[in-house]
Amino acid sequence: MNRHHNGLKTTLLFAGLFAVLLAIGGMIAAGTGRAMWIWVFAVIGVATTAYSYWNSDKIAIRSMHAYPVTEQEQPEMYRIVAELSQAANQPMPRLYVAPTPSPNAFATGRNPQHAAVCCTEGILRILNARELRGVLGHELMHVYNRDILTSSVAAAVAGVITSVAQFMLFFGGGRGNRGGNPLAMIALALLAPLAASLIQMSISRTREYDADEDGSRLTGDPLALASALHKLQNGIQAAPLPDDQRLQNTAHLMIANPFKNVKNMFSTHPPMTERVQRLEGMARELGHG
């Protein structure tokens, strides 16, 4: 369903992530004289990817303490998702609400048959029905474009790289060195997490732009999403999520970065002003303004 031909770009970005992971293994192998470390880190990458594939929905829902809702409990949210799912000829996802005043929404799940859409109590309070429809269209397109798996796996592999690099930095130190360069190991330990984060950000930002466009085509109303994003920007600054590790691991799934005063260079989301401008341009092309 994705019209943006980003498959090659995403493949190359994933190859970059795994190259960084294997470089760490290769450096440790050179330092210890044991080639087995290259294979150890390859297995870690594969195992992490598999775990993220099967559990991405549970991890995200649990981190937000979200609870399932029925049509009777959230009739407007249910009606909009049912309508858009039918329009896309896709199965109805499970619906959740997260008990936080911070306005946000996310979709999760490895495919449309195992998907969930979650809105926070905050977003349900500040958006009108038209704006909520724009947000839910965006989230559903993440599901239909298989973006959830892509971003979840990228985050998981980036997390492994960071953890292993920290281990190298604090416990490697060149001990037991058999020809490896301890300075190179330290440099890699410092630079690998940065490289992994930049690659993860590139994947996430590309997918956000695509979901904005595809979601607006699904709803037929790009200005509704633009209006919602403007409200979310202000709402999150007033009521951000607490900056703890579990929420950091889920933040890349959300329609807007949930933390306060995040610098654009280090955000998994594109700048909100650029997203709004793109949507306004799309509306003009469609003759909506």
Beta bridge partners of residue 96, listed in sequence order: 68, 118
HSE-up of 245 (CA within 13 Å, CB side)? 3
Query: Using CA atoms, how far apart are residues 11 and 15, in angstroms rounded to an integer?
Result: 6
Q: Which of 139, 213, 274, 285 is catalytic?
A: 139
Nearest-angstrom CA–CA distance, 247 and 237: 16
Cα–Cα nearest to 256, from 216, 287, 212, 215: 212
- The 3-state DSSP class for residue 221 equals coil
Residues paired with 116 in a beta bridge: 94, 108
In angstroms, the CA 233 to CA 63 distance is 22
- H/E stretch holding 117: strand 116-120
139 is a catalytic site residue: yes
Residue 118's Cβ-side half-sphere holds a number of Cα atoms within 13 Å equal to 29
Paired tokens of 249: 């691991």
Q: Could you list the active site residues? A: 139
